[in-house]
Structure 1
């Protein structure tokens, strides 16, 4: 046998056990400056951006840059909204959008710097109807008459026979302040309004009473105190049904349809406590004979005029019920300028009676008599009386007991006051007891039992073809869910969604000091309110005990 040479053996060893070549990957990204990394991250979608935030502390900081999330917020929410704005020049929309994107110092309403990642998460939760739920006990006994509520700037104002209270919807859900009513205001409160244009540290509130009196209060949010400023004596006009305040003007409307406009003198503060107000001047007192509840009163001010708007229900011939609006314009000096009225249907015309599908199809058709013809068909379309009405210019939203809502758009110029034909909104599976609409077209509605809440995106109305398709397909609303993360949610969306709050159950119906399970709570009077972060409901337990249910989208 021929012996192999060493060279052959070496070649064989090399062939049998070749050495692995370690791949060398150059970390080029770490050598880039933070400015260049931010530039790269700006091209990533949100799912990849949230993944980069988990790589290291450095990338967590860079991927959370405020300007990155501002651009993401703009692309996801502002651009689609701008496309819905009716404008004669599309380039004008683009230019306004670019000016918005170039704003380097955006602040919220309270003056704090906007955190755009938090804003993105907030809007994302609103879009998906995802919220955490907590409850604030209001009363352990039945409230007769029911409590009156308003919501503004994260505070819920509650008025009942026990006095005026303010609850915070922020973390902790604690009572901010409370006070008792004056002796002259000893009757039941029937109306409540908050000045939305007041200062950042105080809130001004007007409370109307059953005996026709009203009182003005200040809430010092920093000092957590209510200050009583003025009590108006009782009036022979009767119960104050609704009130509105835009300082220094206050408007009240009684159940006998008497409208009064008051003007207070400029308010001064002495030390830490505001001084009492002098009696106001009664600028105008008007009488109406066509206003039916439910109704809503609001004040709009300019530098020279005051506009009082009264939105109300209106009975009509054969078409059942519709809505009307009256605007009273007064100069800032008190001179009466004009009064005009509009309704959703014109005189001698009944579009709503035939434009909508049958609303009371359960009515039997008479087989004899004059109603056996066309009138019988009309009876099937009669509109029932609205259960609630919310008006925030230019949107008027009405709820009905047949599981539907109707949206109207109001046009108010110097020459024209008109209300568009109603557009029916479907989505609820039970009777709708309350709804509230905001100025940008976002609305929230709730069922009678309070177990079905829906968020509506109504901005722009239904003039466009896309909006009509969404209306026909029932895609205008999203049902609010209380779970923190659905099983099918992608991982990056879970990262953006807030975790559920750990809340304790409120007890059972048999316990005197606690509430029952959520399924035993029934809605009281259909009150519902919302702001940018929360939706708040008033629910009542089987024995009358009441709680505020807060849906938190942060």
Structure 2
């Protein structure tokens, strides 16, 4: 008994040592495990599993993952991750507006079903860069630079009159000139510049004729791009931009082909300026002074379909032409829908009236016509109707600019406000559908008179400008009950001048024209006091 007890007591130190040694070994191994890192991206998971894990991350998390290592950066910047993120946040859904079918139209010709095609060709195939550009729109992050600066001469002929942006090219025109200028835009780290590539004009237009309106149209049906220029004599010229591969994107001189020039003979009228044009090949609509002309273009000839005088003094006009296919009996017919948005400047202390007229035309004549006025808040009396006549209209007008992109009609006013209208058909329960225009809301936020606006319903953007800032409004569609990323009444504000906060006094300038595309805004800025005219660019591709 005493012998076994002595043996057990002798083994106690050995057991304690063994336990201590096992504990020390486990602790050492645990430290090694804790200190050693396993890169599951490079060594453990396959590419498919890594992308699956990363697909649950937000854009901010992906940017942090890209800073870990080169392998992580490659995986975090994969296009399979950023394309779904872009579509989830920025892609515009399909927009549809229908009217009831009638006996005349077996198909809905007021159907506007469009979807903006999303491509990354201009971003070198990078969906991440495209995501960054659209995010900069929401945050107002941009680079401001005067890409073209021009001193104005005494006769004001060097002053810019029109500007339109197309990819990395700019189309401009100057006062009292029949020439179109093509500029190449180039971005730099410290700013942006533009170089005059070439200029062209119609062969049959005299030098004393000036361009009063021009616009570049993309024709999806015939896969053409056509530039239309309207002149001070009421005529117009059409140029086709030939599709010859990559050169078409740069508007190369050899790709611009003059189709024809239409010279309108005007008797006893000094003012016949073309103020608005719209083209949906082969239907061209032109507004000159108080006349609406509808033309049918066939090869190199132009046929006048119908011409009519405006019943009132239309101060501002916006035109749009849309194709629609209908069926009369068993025979299909091609018809086009022409939408004319106008503003009637009323006198005798009455405000301006906004209206819209829709024409359904064929290749030979007008099929139907509908008109609607937003006069619900105005008194309907003989005095009001009498005040609409041009001879009794006072000289003031409240509307400074008008723009239309279905179904949104936007008007800007000199009281620093913008009114947004919705152009919709009447209730589907009615037998005959008629257009209805109603005011949706009033947009506040400008501190000066709103001088220029531009709209693109497919991109859901409205751009407005005064002498101090540019505001970007989101046109979310209330008919679709869709929640917008940014409420339409809370705009993104970007300054006109890059160093606006450091200025003691705001320079006197005027935003005369405005245009934008997916990654930039361009505007003509005139400074009457300094006799300068410049084209300013806000680039979100930073």
Cα distance in 1 for partners of 2:68, 2:184 equals: 38
Of 268, 272, 280, which aligns to 1:246? 280
2:404 corresponds to: 391
Please give the residue correspondences for 1:219-298 in structure 2 after superposition, counting only pairs within 5 Å: 219=241, 221=248, 222=250, 224-225=252-253, 226-236=256-266, 238-255=272-289, 257-266=290-299, 277=300, 279-298=301-320
Of 435, 449, 467, which aligns to 1:431? 449
Q: Deviations over 1:506-538 (max 9, x none)?
A: xxxxxxxxxxx996472243x111111111111
Runs of 4+ with deviation above 4 angstroms: 81-87, 109-114, 198-202, 316-319, 346-350, 461-467, 481-484, 517-521
Cα distance in 2 for partners of 1:291, 1:110 equals: 45
2:361 corresponds to: 330
Going from structure 1 to structure 2, the CA distance change for 1:292 and 1:250 (only over 3 Å counts) comes to same
Q: Deviations over 1:147-167 (max 9, x none)?
A: 133344454322234411123
Q: Check conservation: 2:452, 2:511, Cα contact below 8 A.
A: no
Cα distance in 2 for partners of 1:263, 1:401 equals: 38
Q: Check conservation: 1:193, 1:206, Cα contact below 8 A.
A: yes
Deviation at 1:426, TM superposition (A): 0.7
Please give the residue correspondences for 1:353-432 in structure 2 after superposition, counting only pairs within 5 Å: 385-412=398-425, 415-432=433-450
Q: Deviations over 1:334-361 (max 9, x none)?
A: 23201111112249758xxxxxxxxxxx
Instruction: Considering fraction of residues, name the structure with more strand.
Output: 2
SS at match of 1:60: helix
Deviation at 1:201, TM superposition (A): 9.1
1:452 corresponds to: 469
SS at match of 1:252: strand
Give TM-score, length-normalised by structure 2.
0.71
Cα distance in 1 for partners of 2:464, 2:54 equals: 39
Going from structure 1 to structure 2, the CA distance change for 1:547 and 1:345 (only over 3 Å counts) comes to same
Going from structure 1 to structure 2, the CA distance change for 1:170 and 1:324 (only over 3 Å counts) comes to farther
Of 284, 297, 312, which aligns to 2:342? 312
Of 164, 178, 183, which aligns to 1:167? 183
1:342 corresponds to: 372
Deviation at 1:181, TM superposition (A): 4.3
SS at match of 2:71: helix
2:535 corresponds to: 548
2:45 corresponds to: 32
1:184 corresponds to: 205
Cα distance in 1 for partners of 2:303, 2:521 equals: 37
1:23 corresponds to: 32
Deviation at 1:48, TM superposition (A): 1.6
Going from structure 1 to structure 2, the CA distance change for 1:421 and 1:180 (only over 3 Å counts) comes to closer
Q: Establish whether residue 140 from structure 1 lines up as the match of residue 171 from structure 2.
A: no
5+ residue gaps, structure 1: 1-6, 88-99, 101-105, 267-276, 351-382, 485-516
Going from structure 1 to structure 2, the CA distance change for 1:532 and 1:291 (only over 3 Å counts) comes to farther
Cα distance in 2 for partners of 1:75, 1:245 equals: 33
Give TM-score, length-normalised by structure 1.
0.70
SS at match of 2:144: strand
Q: Check conservation: 2:465, 2:511, Cα contact below 8 A.
A: no
SS at match of 2:352: strand
Q: Check conservation: 1:243, 1:251, Cα contact below 8 A.
A: yes
Going from structure 1 to structure 2, the CA distance change for 1:338 and 1:113 (only over 3 Å counts) comes to farther
Deviation at 1:548, TM superposition (A): 1.2
Name whichever of 153-162 and 428-437 sits farther off.
Answer: 153-162
SS at match of 1:204: strand
Q: Deviations over 1:40-73 (max 9, x none)?
A: 1111122221111112222111111112112222
Q: Establish whether residue 126 from structure 1 lines up as the match of residue 137 from structure 2.
A: yes
1:479 corresponds to: 493
Q: Establish whether residue 301 from structure 1 lines up as the match of residue 315 from structure 2.
A: no
Cα distance in 2 for partners of 1:262, 1:83 equals: 31
Structure with bigger gyration radius: 2
Please give the residue correspondences for 1:501-512 in structure 2 after superposition, counting only pairs within 5 Å: none
Cα distance in 1 for partners of 2:444, 2:378 equals: 28
Superposition RMSD in Å: 3.9
Q: Check conservation: 1:310, 1:325, Cα contact below 8 A.
A: yes
Q: Check conservation: 1:409, 1:461, Cα contact below 8 A.
A: no
5+ residue gaps, structure 2: 1-12, 99-114, 188-192, 243-247, 326-333, 381-395, 427-431, 499-503
1:358 corresponds to: none
Q: Check conservation: 2:374, 2:438, Cα contact below 8 A.
A: yes
Deviation at 1:176, TM superposition (A): 4.4
Cα distance in 2 for partners of 1:482, 1:528 equals: 12
Going from structure 1 to structure 2, the CA distance change for 1:205 and 1:83 (only over 3 Å counts) comes to closer
Of 516, 520, 537, which aligns to 2:523? 537
Going from structure 1 to structure 2, the CA distance change for 1:59 and 1:51 (only over 3 Å counts) comes to same
Going from structure 1 to structure 2, the CA distance change for 1:169 and 1:297 (only over 3 Å counts) comes to farther
1:494 corresponds to: none
Please give the residue correspondences for 1:43-82 in structure 2 after superposition, counting only pairs within 5 Å: 43-78=56-91
